[in-house]
Structure 1
Amino acid sequence: MSDFLKTGKSNPRGIPQAPFIEKPEKVMKNPEEDFDQTLSAFQNRLQQYKFMEVSKRQQLEDLKIKIPDIEKNLNIIGHINDVKRKDEDDEKTIETNFELNDTLYTRAVVDASNLNSVYLWLGADVMLEYPIEEAVQLLEDRLKTNREQLQLVKEDLEFLKENITTMEVNTARLYNWDVERRRKSKKAEK
């Protein structure tokens, strides 16, 4: 029966497409022996789709946090560059508040004229210093990659939603077919 679940079709990221059962009797060769195994295979596939959906939703939430952070960093670096480009007579300092801890902030005055690099968190408690131009390029590349990834995750979620619905309908059809088959079998015995 599990061969019936193999449609040979999948989305571009390899998530298999769910088959649609129009007539459960065509799937069930020997209902007495195969029904439980077939129903179990359908339920397992449904659970796999739901697990993938949870994983993709987490990925979506992560991207929804990363993208604004990257945009904010690009805006800050842009502001630094704007201050650096001011006329010779203008003051090239930036007053800012920055976070020391979750609830503790302090003020700082930064001399932008001598600011040639920035520090970026790369993740896993790693921070590196980058020249401003390299930092902008790195952040723009990451922003582009994350936006593309966001689109792919949304497509995968839509694909999974459709396939979860298909598998739920398949499972219900299979179950209802078996109930009807058993009811007819009992009537025939009387």
Structure 2
Amino acid sequence: MEIDPQPSSAEKSAANAAAAEGSSPAADGEQHRRGIPVAQFVADVEAFLAGREAPPVIQSLEERMQQYKLLEIKLLTQKRDLQSKLPDIKKSQEIVQTLVTKREEKKEVRLDYVLADGVFARADVKDADSVCLWLGANVMVEYSFDEALALLKRNEENATSSLANIDGDLLFVRDQINITEVTVARVHNWDVQRRRLAGASSSSGGALREGIAA
């Protein structure tokens, strides 16, 4: 009997997130959570800029925000994949357990199996003591019932754990997106206000010079 028990690989759900630290305005020694850079909350925009021009800093922040959003899409894809695999793993466990029960009761099991694409056959199985599990990449391995149940249980636990990690990573990434969006807005508003004050100061200076000349 052939059963596909494997979840897709999602253990390293955030391993390659938003690298490019050199292009980010975040400080050296930047903190990470499971490979995800922590966004820097800016309380003092002037101190944050430290003499830098606002436009390139805003561009760098927007690039980081785009990296967070790409990571969010990646995590959502991994989550959907795992969610689709979990029911298959549980169903496979039920099938193997049914075979175990039938063997203990010394009863035959009537099974329909795939003979070829679109072609099915029926078999009566009695006293079975093993199953074949697909491990992915066109690899199938025969296991005893106990080994198969242990493997399926482990796969279920791993998939459930990975889902919990992904949910945590998604919450964290969305927080970083919000923080970065706020920082972009604060830097932009500070720059607009600075330019406005500089323009007003320049106009006042020009009017004063004209008055003196008159």
Give the TM bin, normalised by the shorter chain.
0.7 to 0.9
Match for residue 4 of structure 1 among 26, 30, 33: 26
Higher relative contact order (CA 8 A, sep 6+): 2
- Asked if 1:111 corresponds to 2:125, the answer is yes
User: How far apart are the structure 2 equivalents of 1:5 and 1:99?
Assistant: 58
Any stretches of 5+ residues in structure 1 without a counterpart?
none
1:10-37 Cα deviation digits (max 9, x unpaired): 32x1322111112312212225xx2222
The structure with the larger Rg is: 2
CA RMSD of aligned residues (A): 2.3
SS in 1 for 2:32: coil
When the two structures are superposed, what TM-score results if normalisation uses the length of structure 2? 0.75
8 Å contact kept, 1:120–1:129? yes
Percent identity over paired residues:
31
Q: What SS class does the counterpart of residue 21 from structure 1 fall into?
A: coil
Greater share of helix: 1
- Asked whether the 8 Å contact 1:9–1:16 carries over to 2, the reply is yes
* TM superposition shift of 1:134: 1.2
Match of 1:170 in 2: 183
Q: 2:88 aligned with 1:74, yes or no?
A: no
Q: Which runs of 5+ in 2 are unaligned?
A: 1-22, 204-214
TM value normalised by structure 1: 0.84
1:136 paired residue number? 149
> What is the letter of the counterpart of residue 79 of structure 1?
T
State the number of aligned residues: 181
Given the alignment, which residue of 24, 33, 38 partners 2:45? Answer: 24
CA gap of 1:117–1:75, structure 2 versus 1, over 3 A, is same
Q: Does structure 2 retain, via aligned residues, the 8 Å contact 1:93–1:109?
A: no
1:80 Cα deviation (Å)? 0.8
Q: Distance in 2 between matches of 1:37 and 1:173?
A: 14
Is the contact made by 1:5 and 1:18 (CA closer than 8 Å) also made in structure 2?
A: no
- Rounded to whole Å, the distance in 1 between the matches of 2:76 and 2:27 is 24
Select between 121-130 and 159-168 the one with higher mean Cα deviation.
Answer: 121-130
